[in-house]
Amino acid sequence: MNSPESQDWAIDALGALAHETRLSVFRALVKAGPDGMIAGAIAESQNVPPSTLSHHLATLERAGLVQSERESRLIHYRADFSGMRRLLTFLMQDCCQGAPEMCGDLLGELVCNPPQRRDAARSGAPGASP
């Protein structure tokens, strides 16, 4: 069983996500995928002032859920997918009292909608937006 000390990082991560703005920002970064987003685009998409957003992003970064990289004058943010996996694994590791088949279809309930390529949309390819 996990000791309380070994759970501190999970408490920090869950605490970081337990705020409406931070949860929305994290979900937007997950949706953006490995390319991530620049800080200004995140602030605009979330309708949050840049100074407020930087506080929220710093909290998510300290919790191991977001990574940042300076690109000239811009700061680029990405979801830390390994941190997200670590948290999800922690939450699910003792799932179902040793009967994993109870949780086995959990991933099947997720619906991933990958962004459509712009050239496919223009060409009228199957699955392209009109």
Instruction: Note the pLDDT tens digit of each residue in 16-27.
Output: 999 999 999 999
Return the bridge partners of 77, or none. Answer: 37, 68
- Decide if 125 is inside a domain: no
Q: Which residue segment(s) compose the domain that 27 sits in? A: 4-97
- Decide if 13 is inside a domain: yes
- Decide if 112 is inside a domain: no
CATH number, domain containing residue 65 = 1.10.10.10
Total domains, the chain: 1
For the chain, the farthest-separated pair of C-alpha atoms sits apart, in whole angstroms, at 56
Output the pLDDT for position 82.
96
Output the pLDDT for position 122.
42
Interatomic CA distance for residues 36 and 15, integer angstroms: 22
- Decide if 42 is inside a domain: yes
- Decide if 104 is inside a domain: no
- Decide if 103 is inside a domain: no
Mean pLDDT of each 10-residue bin along the chain, 130 residues long: 72 97 97 95 95 96 97 94 93 76 72 55 44
- Decide if 32 is inside a domain: yes
Contact partners, residue 97, CB within 8 Å, separation at least 6? none
Instruction: Note the pLDDT tens digit of each residue in 43-54.
Output: 999 999 999 999
Which residue in 39, 106, 93 sits closest to 66, CA to CA? 39
- Decide if 35 is inside a domain: yes
Helices (H), the chain: 8-17, 20-32, 39-46, 50-62, 81-92, 118-123
